[in-house]
A = this chain, B = another copy of it.
Amino acid sequence: MPGEFRTHRRVEWADTDQAGIVHFARFFVFMEAAEHAFWRSLGLSVHSQRDGDTISWPRLVAECEYFRPVAFEDILDIHLHLDKQGEKSLSLCFDFHCRGEHIAQGRLKIACCVCNPGEAIRAIPIPDFIARKLAAHP
């Protein structure tokens, strides 16, 4: 699938809570880290500089559906794919698997923005240098 990217991470002790499983809010940190690894795999970063502007991707919507719990030291396989590419936003879908089971599915909708210090954040069309990298992704 175009835009598919795979990574994994091992569940750490600090990810768990008293129920003995990964705390549900940690999945959002896992999604974000997978997204940032995706940007790096394109030779980019979630933050980039262009003509003196800092371009970044504030979150508009974050959601996750949980199917099964995951435990300390489990290894999560995370598959990211580009669900939708708008003019000024991206919708990223994340599937979490562990030992052959589908653990959770999440989604981030992020907006392409100029985020200069001391200025109001403003959404912009996804710049060409980013759009080209996304299009070239296998």
Contact = CB atoms under 8 A, between A and B. Distances in A.
Contact of A16 (B18, B24, B59, B65): B18
B63 A64 contact: yes
A23 B19 contact: no
A68 B137 CA distance: 32
A89 to B, nearest CB: 13
Contact of A28 (B18, B24, B115): B24
B59 A62 contact: no
Nearest to A73: B45
A9 B64 CA distance: 24
Interface string A56-97: 101111111110010011000000000000000000000000
A46 interface: yes
